[in-house]
Amino acid sequence: CKMDKDENLGPGCDVSISEINNINKKIRKDILSLVHTDFFKYFKFDPFKKCTIWENNDGICFRRSCAVDVVEDWDSLPEYWQPEVLGSLDNDTSEQDDALHSKDDDASFLNQLCDNKDKAADALADDVNYYDINDFLSPDAVLVDLSKNPERFTGYGGQEAGQIWKAIYAENCFSSDEQDKCLAKDAFYRIVSGLHASIGTHLSNDHLNTTTGEWGPDLDLFMMRVGNFPERVSNIYFNYAIVAKSLYKIMPYLKELDFCNEYDNDVKQKMINIVSQLDSKIFDEDLMFQDDWDKSIQDDFRSRFKNVTKIMDCVHCDRCKMWGKVQTTGYATSLKILFELNEADETSRQHVVDHLTKFELISLLNTFDRLSKSIESINNFEVLYNERIDCD
């Protein structure tokens, strides 16, 4: 697509597409290796959670490609994911008791896992979250190995998927008098559009050719969904900048984060390798609410983003829903770090960093991987496109 790769990405981003391409080349290998570690490759989500956005959410995706392979062979899991450590999840009690029970189990699991305090319970009490923390406390949640359920073409689409995207974009309607000038509103749109474009890139990059039966990149599809729209490409890079800055912001505390016993040092070192290549100028979160800073806009932003994470419960394709949950929770974690963490204030540090849960960290790093992979794919598609032009 025709765009200036050396131009900065826009308000808040003092970095260009070329610069991000360079950073990404340096850290891509480490990110990939990190999300394949035992700590980061497992994710818990509830495919049965009720859609609260619409009364009628009938529809189901029967394609094999929409399915998620749930972990059933528990013996193959690392010790800290074993059921006795996780605790029993199916108690025959009232719904409220269930939530409480699984909350306790989750908390004790986290204690044992990471030698942490009662993180899950603390998370329940705080009001800084951009996602619904109950997502990870549900008794119906299943455990999945993300590396065995890649994000790729599933065939999910049509009116059902269109309706989900419409509902997500409809959240971008802030109650500011100066709507057109609101940077927060623009950023909200860019995050959602960047997520949408990143999904479009993955489904085009890992696409099923129904004639040959083989999976691979489909340049025409990519151009139709993403490549022909410079704004969409730029929004993927914008999201990369946001997530990268949130990782940069927690860098000083990485030593204090616990990634579980024997895996701790290896995982921590990989993270430090990645984060040490990032730069503070990549995104300036202080500009976001500066123009018309008003606590109500920030609260509005938080609750609207939380709604986006809830809309994921309405997605009919389980594989899409799972990756939708991973990524919306990842952005929610980034936003919490960017906007609720004030490094100069010890209480805010304790409130945000010390209470980051395992699932937030898993989502955050996997979201970064998704964006990093999208950027790698965009560069590959550019090569394919140039080869095609040369041939013509």
260 is catalytic: no
Of these, 15, 89, 133, 197, which contacts ligand FAD (CB under 6 A)? Answer: 197
Q: Nearest distance from residue 158's CB to ligand FAD, in Å? A: 7
- Alpha carbon distance 324, 330 (integer Å): 10
Residues 6+ apart with CB under 8 A from 98: 91, 139
Token pair for residue 24? Answer: 């990404």
In terms of DSSP bridges, do strands 207-209 and 214-216 run parallel, antiparallel, or are they unpaired? antiparallel
- Please, what sign has the CA dihedral across residues 12, 18, 23, 24? positive
Q: Which of 101, 185, 196, 373 is close enough to bind ligand FAD by CB under 6 A?
A: 196
Nearer to ligand FAD, 116 or 367 (CB): 367
Q: Which residue has the tokens 């193959």?
A: 76
DSSP lists the bridge partners of residue 43 as 144
Name the minimum Å distance from CB 207 to ligand FAD.
Answer: 8
Cα 337 from Cα 323, distance rounded (Å): 21
Which parts of the chain fold into alpha helices (H)? 17-35, 38-41, 83-86, 95-114, 119-125, 158-170, 183-205, 219-222, 230-250, 264-275, 295-311, 318-340, 346-352, 358-391
CA 136 to chain centre: 14
Stretch that binds ligand FAD, among 72-80, 129-137, 162-170, 209-217 (CB under 6 A): 162-170
Among 223, 220, 244, CA closest to 233:
223
For the bound state, the minimum distance from the C-beta of residue 325 to ligand FAD, rounded and expressed in Å, comes to: 9
Does 145 interact with ligand FAD (rule: CB under 6 A)? no
Cβ closest to ligand FAD, residue 156 vs residue 339: 156
Our finding on whether 324 is near ligand FAD (CB under 6 A) is yes
Give the residue carrying structure tokens 């074993």.
Answer: 82
Q: Which stretch binds ligand FAD (CB under 6 A): 37-45, 156-164, 209-217, 255-263?
A: 156-164
Catalytic residue among 66, 182, 314, 317: 317
> Of residues 89, 113, 199, 282, which one binds ligand FAD by CB under 6 A?
199
The residue (of 308 and 338) whose beta carbon lies closer to ligand FAD is 308
Q: How far is the CB of 138 from ligand FAD (least distance, A)?
A: 19
The residue behind tokens 């709507």 is 179
Q: For the window 221-260, what string marks contact with ligand FAD as x by the rule CB under 6 A? A: -----------x----------------------------
Residue 185 sits in the site that holds ligand FAD (CB under 6 A): no
Applying CB under 6 A, which part among 69-77, 189-197, 215-223, 384-392 lies near ligand FAD?
189-197
Q: Is 61 a catalytic residue?
A: no
Tokens found for residue 210? 């129904």
Q: Which residues belong to the active site? A: 317, 320
Residues near ligand FAD (CB under 6 A) are 151, 153-154, 156-157, 161-162, 164-165, 193, 196-197, 199-200, 203, 232, 312, 315, 319-320, 323-324
